[in-house]
Amino acid sequence: MKPTWIAVDWGTSNARFWAIGADGSVLGERTSDKGMGQLAPSEFETVLRDLAGNWLSSASRVVACGMVGSRQGWVEAPYQTTPCAVCPSTMVIAPTTGSGLTVHIIPGIRQTDPADVMRGEETQIAGFLAQNPGWDGVVCLPGTHTKWVHISANEVISFQTFMTGEIFALLAGQSVLRHSIAGSGWDGDAFADAMSQTLARPESLAARLFSLRAAQLVHKTDTVTLRARLSGLLIGAELAAAKPYWLGQKVALIGADAVSAPYITGLASLGVDAARVDAKDMTLAGIKAAHALLETVV
């Protein structure tokens, strides 16, 4: 079987390509480290053609999501504005120099008040909804910039982004805490204790952060324990702020095990039983949903 179209998840650092057959099956997968961050707009087509290679002999349509559609990407795919359908009714077509290739780019979603944006996550949500028809509730997408998204009737109603993952990386790698935080490892009890502290008193976060450094200097607290405490303090503060999203709602997490596990633990302590699905699987499912919609309007 030969591919009839190509699905692409093109992020800032990497790109992932899937060859899709007429029946929707995945016939091949290829990855590249040539993400949006290192490409000029004129270079995207060359990378695509090189990576897709022999797939293009039978597949002329590409559907792509992610930072490829940002202002710095191949071509800007303007944001949809909330409330809006998760799967867009229209997509932007990227400029190509060669014949026999049409590249459709899925737009991101913006919120005007309070201002917020997502690009790529909307496709993962679309994939989740395609596999869970009629689902209403809140989707949490943990990561560098964690998003909490209210979904109803297949629309994004509102969302909020938390820079928790990036703050953790900055504090652990560049602040005074870098001397006290292990590069890996975990302590579940330390995480749970720290999380409960900022859940109860999120205004204490700044003071409790410095206490991590002091704990090592005064008590020689293990750096793995302090790594877990840092994570707990930050996620506790996030969960406190995101309470309007998860309280009394059905919650699903889209993400890898490593980044999702602390959120599942934290939500469970609050009586929220959150289901988890894989981000890569949902991305591909979302691109397939967008392609299916494209088929109905072309």
Mean pLDDT by 10 residues, the chain (298 residues): 95 96 96 95 95 94 96 96 91 91 96 97 97 96 97 97 98 96 96 97 96 96 97 98 96 96 96 95 97 79
Closest by Cα among 264, 6, 288, 269 to 124: 288
Query: Three-class SS of residue 6?
Result: strand
What are the structure tokens assigned to 216, written together? 């090592």
Measured at the alpha carbon of residue 13, what is the angle toward residues 8 and 18, in degrees to the nearest 5?
20
For residue 295, the model assigns a pLDDT of 76
Please work out, in degrees rounded to the nearest 5, the angle formed at the alpha carbon of residue 256 by the alpha carbons of 251 and 262: 60
Look at the alpha carbons of 279, 73, 92, 159 in this order and tell me if their dihedral is positive or negative: positive
- CB count within 10 Å of CB 269 equals 14
Beta strand pairing call for 15-20 and 26-32: antiparallel
Residues in the chain: 298
**What was the pLDDT predicted at 297?**
61
Write the DSSP symbol of residue 95.
P
The pLDDT value recorded for residue 251 is 98
Helix H or strand E encompassing 287 = helix 279-297
- Would the pTM of this model clear 0.85, i.e. be above it? yes
8 Å CB contact between 86 and 126: yes
Query: For 78, which DSSP code?
Result: P
Taken in order of first residue, the domains within the chain and their CATH numbers are 5-119 (3.30.420.300), 162-277 (3.30.420.310)
CA 251 – CA 46 distance, rounded (Å): 41
Q: What is the pLDDT of residue 99?
A: 78
Q: Give 261's DSSP letter.
A: H
Contacts with 163 (C-beta within 8 Å, 6 or more apart), sequence order: 144, 145
| Nearby residues of 92 by Cβ (< 8 Å), 6 or more positions away | 69, 75, 76, 77, 78, 104, 105, 107
What is the DSSP track for 208-221?
HHHHHHHHHHHH--
- Measuring CA to CA, which residue among 295, 298, 281, 296 is closest to residue 123? 281
Q: What is the pLDDT, as a whole number, of residue 110? A: 97
Identify the pLDDT of residue 87. 87
SS3 118: strand
